[in-house]
Amino acid sequence: MSTARTLLLAGNWKMNLDHLEAISTVQKLAWALRDAKVDLTAVDVVVLPPFTDIRSVQTLVQGDKLWLRYGAQDVSRHEPGAHTGEIAATFLSRLGCTYVVVGHSERRADNHETNDVVAAKVKAALGHDLVPILCVGESLDQREDGTHVEFTLAQLEESLAGLSAEDLTGLVIAYEPVWAIGTGKTATAEDAAEMAAAIRGWLREIYGDSLAESTRILYGGSVKTDNVADILVSDDVDGALVGGASLSGPDFAALCKAAVGQ
Ligand code: 13P
């Protein structure tokens, strides 16, 4: 389904929707995408449900041959073994997951995930053929004191420590300014473009042209049907990581339709 830098619209459900709700949400999403005639060869539409929903989503997607991908919101940095409560990357691969979110700001805040831990999770995901969606982004203080680019690039560098350009083929980076998540405050299209360009420039400097040109950079933070097209105007912004607006199938389908400009 994907070629390099195919538009990516990923719905991060966070801790919402149980496995029964997941089934009906994915069904409604698939129907609404079909009814809206969204060209699914031009866009990767992805759902990222809670772990307990993934088996149900897999059964539906495979059984009904839906043109959707799915993934998880986190992954263990460990291989299978004595790590109570953790979910190994290999388990997610075996459930047909394509993507996994790593280093979301809510996990960094709620679970004290450091950049070192995030880097280990990126490595674990890549080691099991999962595409990490690595989240980075500044707080309001950093935005207000003008250190947002410096902070975000440092976070990115530390979250990719020890990984080579070859290791990182297929990586997705999501720029999610913490102050714009779930607040209704969206970064402007210019803010998103500025950071995406800075991230791509940094990738070019550190890893070379090939990785810089092939890496998809998403924006996340209060993305909705009525602002997604603006956010995607920049050539450096390759998609969106969507929270609240992905929880209803029809709403997420409408957002996808607006994003592909149909
Ligand atoms: P909202 O779209 O609800 O602001 O969430 C953004 C987000 O954190 C996606 O990962």
CA atoms within 13 A on the CB side of 32: 19
What gap in Å lies between CA 84 and CA 64, rounded to an integer? 34
> Which residues are within 8 A (CB) of 84 and not within 5 positions of it... i.e. 6 or more apart?
none
* pLDDT for residue 203: 98
Instruction: State whether residue 173 is helix, strand or coil.
Output: strand
Query: Is 181 close to ligand 1, i.e. is its CB under 6 Å away?
Result: yes
Q: How far is CA 200 from CA 108, 138, 153, 193, in A?
A: 23, 17, 10, 10
* pLDDT for residue 187: 87
* pLDDT for residue 92: 98
Please state the pTM of the whole predicted model.
0.97
Residue whose CA is closest, atom 7 of ligand 1? 243
* pLDDT for residue 183: 83
What gap in Å lies between CA 133 and CA 148, rounded to an integer? 20
* pLDDT for residue 173: 98
Write out the catalytic residue numbers: 104, 176
Which regions in the chain score pLDDT beneath 50? 1-3
**Among candidates 26, 103, 43, 74, which has minimal Cα distance to 239?**
43
163-196 pLDDT per residue, tens: 999 999 999 999 999 999 888 787 899 999 999 9
